[in-house]
Amino acid sequence: MVPDSQHKRLYKIWKGNNKFFFGGRCIFGPDVASLFLSVLLIAGPAITFCYQIHAKIQHRKYHEEESVYDNQLLGFPVLVATIIALLADLTFLLLTSSRDPGIIPRNSQAFDSSDGSEFNTPSFQLMAGITPHLRLPKTKEVIVNGFAIKLKYCDTCLLYRPPRASHCSVCNNCVQKFDHHCPWVGQCIGLRNYRFFLLFISTSAFLCIFIFALSFVNIFHERKNYQYFVKLILGEIISVILMLYTFLSVWFVGGLTVFHLYLIYTNQTTYENFRYHFNKTNNPFNIGVLRNIKEVFFSRIARSMINFRAWTLDEAVVNEIYTSCVGIDVICKNEKFNTEKDGRMPFPTLLHNFGYNYINENKIAINKLEGNSPDPSALANIQEKNLQGLGEKKQNCEGEDKSIAGRMVGMIEDGTAIDGVPNEGNSSSETIVPANQHANIQEI
């Protein structure tokens, strides 16, 4: 059953800067256009080298009867090896760029009900909703392998980042085991795509060395067919250009590969290496060389924490329901109040309907009884009047709750589900969740 117009796929209302393709199945960074440049820089020289090999093969066939062409280096086996290396390199590039790097779900509210901290009280949550200047502590400490690690609070995603996670300013997401944002692949490098990134740069380095070595050997073998060096250069101009290009490129991709092999050896990320400068003694994540290598290459890739194809209520509809239920004004957290100018904080709607008449009556009765013995009948009348007033307010609140519940039931069709739990009679595999519970969405 197709959800109504009030439901949308999660990737369509995602607050990050990512670009989604194929219905949310492929997720790229905001600079996905740079991916085409990377493909051109890789495929261009490789295809040119394949063209040169094909030209050499055709040339040998033409001079086969004359037996004057004995350079058998650039043949069919080299052509096949080049094509395989090129396809592997582009595959690793696409796997790195098009998958979720380990994005952490956002919180729609600044407080987690499962957190038992001293700040998680109803009164403090109410004050946080109406006074945006109140904030949780910026850091809190946890123990990892005997080391104290500070977890930073992300004001954008409204959560304490897990160990080794960081917020990417380009993609506007918190990413697990954040390494860096690579502009060449147009994606963050994190927990779920670091393995493919390392395979991509190492395959690129191999391809550069492979083309450079064969081009050099080809020029060396062809020197006896030319009397002068200038003619040799002009006759094998393709090999000369490929040698210059791959020589310059291998310093970049080769050096990057060596650097990341060192990071794997010490179990660091690029972000940690430049920010914290871990060594062998104070790195809490170093578990030994063999286990470090196993963690990167031979461990199971973690499942995505977010199902971007899940159905969710439109954010505007959820805000309308939330406002009607709690009876307070929804104030944007970015809004700031100038207390020096206004002289007061905004008065919440929740307190507008409270009656204070019985408080005044209590005060008047107490003033009358000052200096005299209290009259039990007078106090009993005051208490009875207070209880009657509270009973009337309770009935009004119950009537409002029933009308709100009716509105919410009418908004969701039969066969759908709330909070990610499908109805028993629904055979569809699609899950419908409210937009304010993105953190609970798991990929199936």
**182 catalytically annotated:** yes
pTM, two decimal places: 0.67
Classify 420 in phi/psi space as left (phi over 0), alpha (psi -120 to 50) or beta.
left
Segment 169-192 mean pLDDT: 94
pLDDT at 290: 94
Residue 156 neighbours by CB distance under 10 Å: 13
DSSP state of 304: P
Segment 153-182 mean pLDDT: 93
pLDDT of 67 higher than 90 = no
pLDDT of 346 higher than 50 = no
Q: Classify residue 350 by burial, with Cβ atoms within 10 Å: 0-12, 13-18, 19+.
A: middle
Range from 113-122, 207-216, 249-258 carrying the lowest mean pLDDT:
113-122
Segment 193-214 mean pLDDT: 96
Residue 329 to residue 130: CA distance in whole angstroms? 8
Domain boundaries, the chain: 25-104+184-297, 311-440
Residue 306 to residue 24: CA distance in whole angstroms? 11
Residue 3 to residue 10: CA distance in whole angstroms? 13
pLDDT at 111: 52
Q: Confidence band (pLDDT; 50, 70, 90) for 395?
A: low
Q: Choose, from 171, 182, 188, 208, the residue flagged as catalytic.
A: 182
How many H-runs (helices) and E-runs (strands) does the chain carry? 12, 12
Name the helix (H) or strand (E) containing 160: strand 159-160
Q: What pLDDT digit, counting tens, does each position of 101-132 carry? A: 999 999 876 654 444 455 555 554 544 454 44
Q: What pLDDT digit, counting tens, does each position of 24-60 carry? A: 899 999 998 999 999 999 999 999 999 999 888 887 7
Helices 76-98 & 194-222 angle (0-180, nearest 10): 160
Contacting residues for 350 by C-beta, under 8 A, at least 6 apart: 126, 326, 327, 328
Contacting residues for 237 by C-beta, under 8 A, at least 6 apart: none
**CA angle centred on 261, ends 258 and 262, rounded to 5°:** 90
Tokens coding 304: 């995505």
Segment 407-415 mean pLDDT: 42
Radius of gyration of the chain (CA): 34
Segment 407-433 mean pLDDT: 39
Q: Confidence band (pLDDT; 50, 70, 90) for 367?
A: low
Tokens coding 161: 């980042």
Most confident segment among 127-136, 311-320, 415-424, 427-436:
311-320
Segment 367-391 mean pLDDT: 54
